[in-house]
Amino acid sequence: MMARAARAEGLDTTSAFQKSMEAYRASLLAQYTFDEEAAGEEARLVYDRLIRTQGDRQLQIRQVFHAFPQHVRQSEIYLWQQRMDSVSMALEGGADFQMMMSHYSDIQETVWLTRSQQTEELEQVAFSLQCGQISQPFLSPQGIHIVQLIDERQLSFDDFKADYFRQIKSSNQTNTVTDRALNRLKTIYGFAENQQNVNLLYRNGKADGVLFTLDGKSFTGAQFAQFAQAYPMGIRRQYAAFVTLCVMDCHAGHLADSAEFQQELTDAGDRLLAMEAYRIHVTEPSQTNEAGLAAYFSNHQKDYHWQKPRFKGAVIHAVNKKVAKKVRKVIKKAKDVEWEAIERLLDDKSRSQVKVEQGMFEQGTNAFVDEMEFSGRKAEPLAGYPVVLTVGKKLNGPDDYREVLAQVQSDYRQYLENTWLESLRKQK
């Protein structure tokens, strides 16, 4: 249903979709040429080396993760830092981690990892956690993360081999495993090399006539020359790459007649289109449509009431009453402006005579708010700042969607999904 709607919108004609399908086709082709025996031998060598150098501790983690593009703007990083801070606050308040993953994470699965498999930043955070513990948001070269450690165990060879196989099958790089598979395909399709012309190519950088035959077809020095123009490297590496490309293209041509291969491509295309349509209609607007988020919050504000009132405002610590009242007046006038901006409105002397705590305070989180707004026990003033005043208001619920951003985004996303799917059902 979603894939059909995406095709109706022309999403299958975009360059991004075509590139994704080509990448998946290459990955699928690599899986079809996978040499399990060779991969097992390579896995054993890598496993033994890993255990000697890194140890056998393996962690099971899940994460809320957003990937950044290679040339990400600082404004986007800042935006996602704010969002992840909201997600982190929701998790600290008891929100379900799996739900946060499903709504905000580019990575949905729970994974086992060992050292040297991930970025240094992710490895450092993950291996510092205790089971069940959730990290604070942090940046890596890949993006921004919140990680939870679920479990840990000793890394067995069978588990390592299964993960190693998955990595190889998802990689398009030529290695010892794919080399062996390539040789097998050469045999299947009757690869025969004209060694005399190949040697001439190595000596002179060019050759006339046939370099090799494959599947009953001849491949010439002229074809190689055309290929080499786009691959600036040593002549032997160029020729090896040319042979590999021809063999794999030949194999791909035979696979094109395979109903199983074509069905997998079709299914992958449907999945990619459905995901892209979902991103456009649900995920993206639920994250970035500020007008929509504000309208949704306004219509459902009662759903976000708190069990106990909270105080939204500031706590002013000052050297005397005159300074305290002056700062309170400035804060009142500035309303919801952050203290860093308000501070610039004060003269140097006043700025040095005051400390301000600003935010949304629950009962029990700030002794001064508890005393002055919730009739709590008397709090001892900060040393050197004997006068304490508060400015703000008590609320039974948030008065701005940004105060509960993660939850509103999650609920708005569900609303958009339900509305969109219902519209698709009506189009049947």
**Domain holding 99: CATH number?**
3.10.50.40
The answer as to whether 416 is a domain residue is: no
163-196 residue pLDDT tens: 788 776 665 444 555 677 788 889 999 999 999 9
How many domains would you assign to the chain? 3
Judgement on whether residues 73 and 165 belong to the same structural domain of the protein: yes
Note down the domain range covering 216. 189-255
User: Band of the pLDDT at 265, cuts 50, 70, 90?
Assistant: confident
23-65 residue pLDDT tens: 887 777 766 766 677 778 888 888 888 888 777 888 999 999 9
Residues 6+ apart with CB under 8 A from 292: 285, 286, 412, 416
The answer as to whether 20 is a domain residue is: no
Rounded distance between C-alpha atoms, residue 215 and residue 197, angstroms: 19
Judgement on whether residues 43 and 164 belong to the same structural domain of the protein: yes
Judgement on whether residues 59 and 151 belong to the same structural domain of the protein: yes
117-172 residue pLDDT tens: 778 899 899 999 999 999 999 998 889 999 999 999 888 888 888 878 877 666 54
The answer as to whether 17 is a domain residue is: no
Judgement on whether residues 42 and 132 belong to the same structural domain of the protein: yes
Average pLDDT over residues 398-425: 90
Give me the long-range contacts of 192-201 (CB less than 8 A, separation at least 24).
Answer: 197/221, 198/239, 201/235, 201/239
Judgement on whether residues 208 and 239 belong to the same structural domain of the protein: yes
Give residue 174's pLDDT.
47
Judgement on whether residues 149 and 197 belong to the same structural domain of the protein: no
Judgement on whether residues 318 and 369 belong to the same structural domain of the protein: yes
**Do residues 274 and 424 make contact, with C-beta atoms less than 8 angstroms apart?**
no
309-357 residue pLDDT tens: 999 888 999 999 998 898 888 888 876 666 666 777 777 787 789 888 8
The answer as to whether 206 is a domain residue is: yes
Tell me the three state secondary structure of residue 110: coil
The answer as to whether 379 is a domain residue is: yes
Judgement on whether residues 86 and 120 belong to the same structural domain of the protein: yes
Cα first-last separation, the chain: 9
Q: In what order do the strands lie in the sheet with 354-361?
A: 354-361, 310-318, 387-395
In 136-238 the beta strands, taken as DSSP E runs, fall at 138-139, 143-154, 192-193, 210-214, 217-220
The answer as to whether 386 is a domain residue is: yes
Tell me the three state secondary structure of residue 270: helix
Per the model's pLDDT, the better-predicted residue between 360 and 174 turns out to be 360
Judgement on whether residues 52 and 80 belong to the same structural domain of the protein: yes
Give residue 285's pLDDT.
94
